[in-house]
Structure 1
């Protein structure tokens, strides 16, 4: 267990509590997990579930995509604590996480439209978020009504995003708390999303009471968000499920799926996170190069030769860059090189972790190799574009504000 006294409140300490995936068995169609007991895993998951169920404080936990920061989606007070801990803008919506379709129907009285059935049969549990109409409000004995989901999760919207994570710790936590959990990534707002418990600790120590440590995340990028409430259906945010998989598994209802707007203006209301504000950004300047082949000539070398002064440089190559061909003077500026990988799955899994790692090395500039947008590439480039300060796309400079 790691702990630190809070800088916000002298009473708050952040604990990192271990959980073992091998202690949890959660069959796909089950409503509740089997958790080995007695075990540290059982004790720690129940401790976190108690905090969620009783609206005490947000807790961090692993999912297959990134670590999430979760609180009861039924309580505005609990949800507001997520925004405070992350310093997150209040008009940035949150995705609601469930442990089973039965929980969605029972707790929120929500039915899933037919258009989603082929997708959830193949892709739930997993890194897929679907957009649903808000459930009907709860009618109280005095005739008043209470929203079924806290309006803080869905600022100004008549829809909400919901997903069922496949990570056994996440599903077990949600099932044992018997509470739909609102959970963005467990990082400080604008920072790269966390894929390990220590990433969360770096950003959230002193701001939340506990982090369940289930090891590194397998997917590494957030869920894909699809909207079947519009025609044609749209992908609002690329992520852990590719557009090719959506078309393949969705069948005829999804053959004409489009990629919706991924960026929104400051005054626009959005249905999903990741569309409006700066995201995934390390402290160092990030320059992304597309269409540069192996990086041995053209714009990238002209850019690097133009660097002046004592610039500490990090390079994140993936499929094509060949640093051996770079000038010796350029090589002298390189402090760290992290190979993102060759496959889309490898690059997705490593991207956020390596952005954090090279940033912690104290570099001034991060050079990242872009990838094609087929399969996982769409999600990778979505995150890289949002992290970038500048983009060089086949000779065209795009300077981010």
Structure 2
């Protein structure tokens, strides 16, 4: 099925929550949210919407057909599970679980919900969530987004939604509505345009059902923050390996397959000082004609600009780099049409762990300094 994809403007600042219920002062925003909610609840079509992390592709987590629409639009492998999004703990308990949330998560939920933290919960026999969401695992991943548009959409439809990032599979995640349109136009009917995403990388995913707990995917909540507020068992949290094997089942997205990759080749430089020597050596080694090759340089703290490159400043702080990473990967790829993207690596502390997780999966080659 082919759609005429509509972009519907929504104003996040016009939405506030009172006792978990959205109150919307802007008429256009209310109308467009109601239109999107109607699409979710009366059809099996997937739609694009903003979250605080990246733009998501939403379908009912309770409907096999809706989940199939997500996988089809993205061309996503069916063994790559999805995260379920809720608007409130009340909705989680009414719609998905008949038990109390495990105590191990209490401090994390108190600090980071709503927000970019995803937890794993057990699947019970009467859980109505589609097995296509979980890839037939015995757990499901769930979070409560803090973006007003995302949370309002879920509340108005009163439907837990499965939502991966709203990009074509393997492509960089979208942080603007236009990124979604570029990847998925004709494949989905609606994109809610709420402006730029604040965080810029996906949510952190943790599994507190195992001992010690595991960090399955670094993201918008740092490992250091989890240890700081989680208490008890979270002091011993273990980081899962970055990429699972082809036949290995996974409990969360981001652990399998190539991700976040532009069309242009990405080369990641780690511990390379100002980058001048290693970039020069790379160009010489690969016989690259820099006058005939279009190259972008995404730099942060140390790399120097090059007048022959398209230079982009990712920022200095972890927040700035996270916010700009996917945006600039897409910009130099889709708008500047570069052949090569050189990226400066960062320390894997705080936000840096999530940044380097994404970059290591986007890169086709990694250069280490001496």
Structure 2 length as normaliser, TM-score? 0.96
2:128 is matched with 148
Kindly tell me the number of residue pairs found equivalent between the two proteins.
365
Match of 2:279 among 300, 311, 332: 300
Counterpart for residue 366 of structure 2: 391
Which residue does the alignment assign to 2:296?
A: 314
Say if 1:55 and 1:75, in contact at 8 Å, map to a contact too.
no
- Structure 1 contact 131–227 (Cα < 8 Å) conserved: yes
Please state how far the C-alpha of 1:301 moved relative to its aligned partner: 2.0
User: Quick one: which of 62, 87, 90 aligns to 1:102?
Assistant: 90
- In the TM superposition, residue 156 of structure 1 has moved relative to its aligned partner by 2.5
Distance in 2 of aligned mates of 1:260 and 1:339: 30
Q: For each residue in 1:285-316, what CA deviation from the matched residue of structure 2 results, as whole angstroms up to 9, or x when unmatched? A: 0000001111133x332112333332111100
After the TM superposition, which residues 1-400 of structure 1 pair with which residues of structure 2 at under 5 Å, given as runs?
9=2, 12-27=3-18, 30-36=19-25, 39-110=27-98, 111-137=100-126, 148-297=128-277, 299-306=278-285, 307-309=287-289, 310-323=292-305, 331-332=307-308, 334=309, 336-360=310-334, 361-395=336-370
Q: What's the RMSD between the two structures over aligned residues?
A: 1.2
Residues 55, 77 of structure 1: 8 Å contact kept = no
- Distance in 1, Cα, partners of 2:119 & 2:349: 21
> What is the CA-CA distance between 1:120 and the residue it aligns to?
0.4
Q: 2:44·2:69 contact (CA, 8 Å) conserved in 1? A: no
Contact 1:55 1:72 in 2 (8 A): no
Shift of 1:56: 3.1
- Structure 2 CA distance for aligned equivalents of residues 275 and 109 of structure 1: 25
Decide which structure has the larger Cα Rg and report it: 1
Gaps of 5+ in 1: 1-7, 138-146, 325-330, 396-401
The residue matched to 1:33 in structure 2 has which SS? strand
Could you tell me which runs of 5 or more consecutive residues in structure 2 were left unpaired when the two chains were aligned: none
Once residues 278 and 158 of structure 1 are traced to their aligned partners in structure 2, the CA distance between those partners, rounded to angstroms, is 24
1:327 matched residue in structure 2? none
Is contact 1:65–1:218 with CA below 8 Å preserved after alignment? yes
SS in 2 for 1:119: helix
2 CA distance for matches of 1:67 and 1:156? 25
Q: Measure, in 2, the Cα distance between the counterparts of 1:312 and 1:246.
A: 41
Cα deviation 1:169-191 (Å, max 9, x = unaligned): 00000001001000000000000
**CA distance in 2 between partners of 1:123 and 1:55 (Å):** 32
Q: State the distance in 2 between where 1:240 and 1:312 align.
A: 32
Partner Cα separation in structure 1 for residue 344 and residue 288 of structure 2: 21
In 2, Cα distance between equivalents of 1:294 and 1:170: 40
Deviations 1:230-265 (A, max 9, x none): 100010000000000000110123111111122101
Q: Is the 8 A contact 1:156 1:269 kept in 2?
A: no
